[in-house]
Amino acid sequence: MGARGVGAVITVNNLTVSYRQHPALHHISGQFAAGSLTAVIGPNGSGKSTLLKCIMGLVKPSGGCIQVQAARRRIAFLPQRSEMDRSFPMLVQDVVLLGAWGAVGAWGGVDPSWLARAQAAIQAVGLQGFEARPVGTLSSGQFQRVLFARLILQDADLILLDEPFAALDSRTTASLLTLIHQWHAQGRTVVAVLHDDAQVHAHFDQTLLLARELVAWGPTVQVLTEAHLQRARLLAEAWDDQAELCHADDSQAGAA
């Protein structure tokens, strides 16, 4: 299992991503260790989702780079929920089986072993009996569990979750957190964008605090301090159209 071991799975090197010249991420550097369990937190608009999309290669950096050591096909990504159409005429089992896409592709056969794995995944998220239900009939919490079952089927070494618990009740959240701990115990690397500081404290040993700039990155107890959170809040949310151009890259290039 290639990436499961020691060393860095993701190396972020002086990463800048900007939309219309305004940085969403500004000169971020650091590493996600193999097998680590990291929460990404920060105020709205602090670049959390952008960071995940950038790791996936869905957004191009405007400066710096991200190196991902895991084999590309062993990465799973759960985007924010709002991007999907839940009225689509599709059965729960079929959605879960989409997790096999990376392995079987558009034409590969889905043999009974895949069906068994899908069944096991559906059971693991507590949705047995829902296999033949159209996804349109599910509640939002149940649907999120279906997506987690799909993640199980993807069997990835690196799992990126963007606000996986938004609008979920505490019981569903607890059961999905258990699942994340299992992944962690299996040596998978998990990165999750979260909002609940208490939850981060209780369940994630590493934390990355963003406010477009990197505020702090390390063990959760050292990151989640009042001083750090205060600094994150101070970094303005609004863009300043008069802001000067950033020359950090130039000066570095000059020094090198």
Partner 1 sequence: MNESSAVWDLLIGPFAEFAFMRRALVSTLALAVSAAPLGVFLTLRRMSLLGDALTHAVLPGVALGFMLFGLSLPAMALGGVVSGLLVAAIAGVVSRATALKEDASLAAMYLLALAVGVTMISRQGSQLDLLHILFGSALGVDEQGLLLVAGVASVSVLTLAVFYRGFVLETFDPSFLAAAAVSKGSRPWVWQQLFLMLVVINLVAGFQTLGTLMAVGLMMLPAVSARLWHESLPAQLFNASVQAAIAGVAGLLLSYHLDTPSGPTIIGCAGVLYLLSLLVSPGGWLPQILKRPHRVA
Binding residues vs partner 1 (CB under 8 A): 56-58, 72-77, 79, 83-85, 88-91, 95, 98, 101-102, 105-107, 134, 136-137
By beta-carbon proximity to partner 1, the closer residue of 123 and 137 is: 137
> Which residue lies nearer to partner 1 by CB, 19 or 185?
19
| DSSP strands (E only) in 100-186 | 158-162
**Rounded-to-integer distance, Cα 152 and Cα 159, Å:** 10
CA atoms of 189 and 183, how far apart (whole Å): 8
C-beta of 75 vs 215, nearer to partner 1? 75
Instruction: Quote the CA–CA distance of 156 and 71 in Å, as a whole number.
Output: 9
**Residue 100 or residue 208: which is nearer to partner 1 going by CB?**
100
CB 2 within 8 Å of CB 70: yes
CB of 19 to partner 1, least distance (A): 9
Could you tell me the strand order of the sheet in which 8-19 lies? 22-33, 8-19, 63-68
Q: Is 250 helix (H, G, I), strand (E, B) or coil?
A: helix
**Residue 91 or 246 with smaller CB distance to partner 1:** 91
Q: Look-up: residue for tokens 């151009």?
A: 245
CB 68 to partner 1: min, Å: 10
As measured in angstroms, the least distance from the Cβ of 10 to partner 1 is 14
Smallest separation (angstroms) from partner 1 to the CB of 83 = 5
Residue 122 Cα to chain centre, angstroms: 21
Is the distance from CB of 57 to CB of 114 less than 8 angstroms?
no
16 closest CA partner among 65, 49, 53, 55: 65
Report in angstroms how near the CB of residue 88 gets to partner 1 at its nearest.
5
Closer CB to partner 1, 139 or 252, in the complex: 139
| Cβ contact 30:203 at 8 Å | no
Cβ-based nearer residue to partner 1, 65 or 185: 65
Name the token pair of 92.
Answer: 């729960």
The answer to whether 43 and 210 have CB atoms below 8 angstroms apart is no
Other C-beta atoms lying within 10 Å of the C-beta of residue 67:
12
CB of 64 to partner 1, least distance (A): 19
At its nearest, how many Å lie between partner 1 and the CB of residue 84? 6
